[in-house]
Amino acid sequence: MKFVLNKNTPIPLYYQLKQWIIEQIERGDLKPGDVIPSERELSEEFEISRMTVRQALTELVNEGKLVRERGKGTFVAEPKISQDLFRLTSFSEDMKSRGMTPGASVIDVTVNTASSVLQKHLNVDAEDKVLIIKRLRMADDKPMALETAHFPLSKFPGLDEQDFNNMSIYQYIESHYNTAISSASQSIEVGLANETEAKLLDISPNSPILLIERMTYDGHRQPIEYVTSVYRGTATNCMWN
Ligand code: 16G
């Protein structure tokens, strides 16, 4: 491997490594089924920490570009046929494809300057405005999830003036800003509902919930959304079947 990560740019090292692996896959230098060197090998090769390597590999696994096989290693994934590679589906589309009617009820809308976390996630400056929109998502009028989505207003001027009750944000973004919603990376963990979440999701406090943190990117791999969601446990069967 004759690739050197550039430690003098603001581009995070994990991201550089991730992009490099993606390029190898796109060029065909890494083929489906090829094994990816271990975390230790990659960290020694690129002189970066194992945590940095892990972050790159985990995102690639979450995006479906690599697969981890317990006890065997990490491999280049077979290209997915069933998933549209150029578009991600939205909550509205997911529910419709399951024969249910999607719904959205706006709980809160705020426009703020970007906090340091959002500057990093959305690749914006401290003075840039971010739209934070919290919605309860329904399927056939039953509450399924609570989504708190953050969008950079510099990329989507006027997005804060729209009413997103029972409206698809992805559809609006795609049609009004000529932006393809192309890829996402997300982490999922299990948690317990607090009082507010329980009330909104119509479940008992302390019921199991799924917490999803997701970054969504456009066709140029630019971040366009950072979202945290809470899904009611009983919704999950239908979400990931
Ligand atoms: C999905 C996305 C969420 C996005 C929403 C848009 C996950 C975990 N979340 O729920 O990030 O904001 O779709 O839905 O996949 P909409 O276009 O129906 O408003």
pLDDT per residue rounded down to tens, the chain (241 residues): 556 788 888 888 999 999 999 989 888 889 989 999 999 999 999 999 999 999 999 999 988 889 988 888 999 987 654 334 455 789 999 999 888 999 999 999 999 999 999 999 999 999 999 999 999 999 999 999 999 999 999 999 999 999 999 999 999 999 999 898 988 988 888 899 999 999 999 999 999 999 999 999 998 889 999 999 999 986 544 444 3
State the burial class of residue 204 (Cβ atoms within 10 Å of its Cβ: 0-12, 13-18, 19+).
Answer: exposed
Q: What 3-state DSSP class applies to 141?
A: coil
Listed by start position, the domains of the chain span 13-76, 81-240
**Cβ(168) – ligand 1 distance below 6 Å:** yes
For ligand 1, is residue 149 a contact (CB within 6 Å)? Answer: yes
Q: What are phi and psi of 100, to 5 degrees?
A: -110, 160
* Architecture category of domain 13-76 in CATH: Orthogonal Bundle (1.10)
What pTM, to 2 d.p., does this model score?
0.66
Q: Give just the sign of the alpha carbon dihedral 29, 63, 121, 218.
A: positive
Pick the CATH number of 81-240 from 3.40.1410.10, 1.10.540.10, 3.30.360.10, 3.40.50.300: 3.40.1410.10
Please name the residue whose Cα sits nearest to atom 12 of ligand 1. Answer: 149
Alpha-carbon distance 92 to 138, whole Å? 9
Both tokens assigned to 236: 């999950």
Distance 5 CA to ligand 1 centre (A): 33
| C-beta of 175 in contact with ligand 1 (< 6 A) | no
Distance from Cα 210 to the centre of ligand 1, integer Å: 15
Q: Give the pLDDT score at 87.
A: 57
> Same fold for the domain at 13-76 and the one at 81-240?
no
Alpha helices in 177-225 (DSSP H): 195-201
What is the DSSP secondary structure assignment for residue 20, as one 8-state letter?
A: H
